[in-house]
Amino acid sequence: MTHYSRLEKIVIDVPPAVHDAEVVFWAAATGKQLTQFEKYPEYHGADLNEHMGLLIQRLEEGESRIHLDIHTDDLEAEIKRLESLGAQRVAQHHLWQVMRDPAGMVFCVIPHRRGTLDDSNATRWD
């Protein structure tokens, strides 16, 4: 099925002990105010430009890492496309799918509101 997707977020995952310091650091480093999400308070974020954002995620467990978020207007089609390239599903969280790339790196596929991704701002997959 034809759908669109784009790389949209850089996510810095950190343990609770260093979360606040990480938010302060990346706000200063980027010159952006990183606002806490009301619905998901473990995230602070800002748009870096029109199509790329930065998130700082407070982990419940695990070590610090960076992962990428791919946004798509058809979650299942994008997951299947990525699986055909060697990715594997890890877990469903909220509305998004956590995956691993062939090297074992974690990334997420996030649903994006239909009609907002198009040829001008995303890649079309037929």
Total domains in the chain come to: 1
Let me know if residue 14 belongs to a domain. yes
The CATH number given to whatever domain includes residue 87 is 3.10.180.10
Residue 114 confidence class, pLDDT cut points 50, 70, 90 = confident
Contact 55, 4 (CB under 8 A): no
94 has pLDDT over 90: no
**Rounded CA gap, 43 and 74, in Å?**
24
Residue 118 confidence class, pLDDT cut points 50, 70, 90 = very high
Task: Give the pLDDT confidence of 6-41 residue by residue, as tens digits.
Answer: 999 999 999 999 999 999 999 999 999 999 999 999
Let me know if residue 18 belongs to a domain. yes
Can you tell me whether residue 50 is helix, strand or coil? coil
pLDDT at 54: 98
Residue 113 confidence class, pLDDT cut points 50, 70, 90 = confident
Let me know if residue 75 belongs to a domain. yes
Contact 75, 111 (CB under 8 A): yes
Task: Give the pLDDT confidence of 36-89 residue by residue, as tens digits.
Answer: 999 999 999 999 999 899 999 999 988 999 999 999 999 999 999 999 999 999
pLDDT at 31: 97
Kindly tell me the burial class for residue 100, based on how many C-beta atoms sit within 10 Å of its own C-beta (0-12, 13-18, 19 or more).
middle
pTM comes to: 0.92
Let me know if residue 126 belongs to a domain. no
Tally Cβ neighbours within 10 Å of residue 56: 25
Q: H helices then E strands: how many in the chain?
A: 2, 9
- Domain coverage including residue 107: 3-120
**Rounded CA gap, 48 and 105, in Å?**
23
